[in-house]
Amino acid sequence: MEGLPEYLARKKNYINDHLIQYIYEYTDEGRLREAMLYSVQAGGKRLRPILLLATAEAYGENEIKAMAAACALEMIHTYSLIHDDLPAMDDDDVRRGQMTSHRKFDEATAILAGDALLTLSFQVIAEEENLTSEERIFLVKELSSASGGRGMVAGQMLDMQSEDKQVSLHALETIHKNKTGRLLNFAVSAGAYIGNASQEERKELVNMGEALGLIFQIQDDILDVTGDAEVMGKPVGSDEGNFKSTYPKLLGLDGAMEQKNNYVQQAQQSLIAAGAEGTMLSKLIDYLSKRDH
């Protein structure tokens, strides 16, 4: 089997090409397009769309049928970063080592570029002719559910309200399940659906996706304590200065690592139950739990 680094690099290029192509195809206005391309090309790892493609592939489907959903997911993720970075939200000047959208352009442009990417995500799924109408509708339903007022946006809202407050572990996990988890869940659930996995297998994969979301978040919090700012492209220790609740703060650094390892075991077990052990997904779980940026 191809090694994970080669696999990640290959998929990332493929996804990037399609993202750029979609934006050119469906956006006329010059400055708007420039801002959309700027954020999409800001050097993300494309973990979410790669997870979607890898899941479809684990069940024998090729990436052509899965590409629109994968890119739609990355567009949602990108729009959420643009809006989260705004002065009224997290007020961040730098993201992935480069200026955030409202710093590079202006606030109005950043708001509109986010709105356009969100809209485009549903458009590219609806326009994907390698999927049947039933498949496209399933994906629009799932993606809107994962990213809307009972998903990512709700999580962001909860996160804003918990700022400068010490919250319980349970409340923290509710925030992350919505803010980060639902999109990761969409990645595996959409990939499994496109790959024609059975209902039973999809259920197990959703469990895996849930664990993966928490692994992802715990590692984020751990990196904010132990990470290398150079490697990460953003300052570390930013959680410490404020009252933001994190796993290391609630459980200690060792406790957070242990909690993460529990979720890794859970995720690998769900993967076995879903009949997808030994696929690229298994390597992805390990990779996400050990990533250094």
Residues contributing to the site for a second copy (CB under 8 A):
23, 26-29, 31-33, 36, 79, 83, 86, 88-89, 102, 106-109, 111-112, 114-116, 118-120, 122-123, 125-127, 132-134, 136-137, 140-141, 144-145, 147-150, 153-154, 156-158, 160-161
**Cβ-based nearer residue to a second copy, 111 or 225:** 111
At its nearest, how many Å lie between a second copy and the CB of residue 131?
A: 9
Question: What letters, b where the CB count within 10 A reaches 16 and e where it falls short, cover 119-142?
Answer: ebbbbbbeebeebeeebbebbbeb
Q: What sign for the dihedral angle of Cα 251, 257, 260, 261?
A: negative
**Cβ-based nearer residue to a second copy, 10 or 31:** 31
**Cβ-based nearer residue to a second copy, 89 or 231:** 89
At its nearest, how many Å lie between a second copy and the CB of residue 173?
A: 16
**Cβ-based nearer residue to a second copy, 42 or 58:** 42
At its nearest, how many Å lie between a second copy and the CB of residue 103?
A: 13
At its nearest, how many Å lie between a second copy and the CB of residue 156?
A: 6
**Cβ-based nearer residue to a second copy, 160 or 169:** 160
At its nearest, how many Å lie between a second copy and the CB of residue 89?
A: 5
With CA atoms as reference, report the closest residue to 258 among 287, 226, 289: 289
46 with 12: CB under 8 angstroms? yes
Q: Measured between alpha carbons, how far is residue 195 from residues 70, 111, 156, 191 in Å?
A: 13, 35, 30, 6
Q: Is 145 strand, coil or helix?
A: helix
At its nearest, how many Å lie between a second copy and the CB of residue 151?
A: 8
**How far apart are alpha carbons 90 and 130 in whole angstroms?**
39
**Cβ-based nearer residue to a second copy, 174 or 269:** 174
Question: What letters, b where the CB count within 10 A reaches 16 and e where it falls short, cover 40-57?
Answer: bebebebbbbbbbbbbbb
Burial of 241 (0-12, 13-18, 19+ CB in 10 A): exposed
**How far apart are alpha carbons 270 and 6 in whole angstroms?**
25
At its nearest, how many Å lie between a second copy and the CB of residue 11?
A: 25
Phi and psi torsions of 98, nearest 5°: -135, 165
DSSP 129: T
**Cβ-based nearer residue to a second copy, 33 or 291:** 33
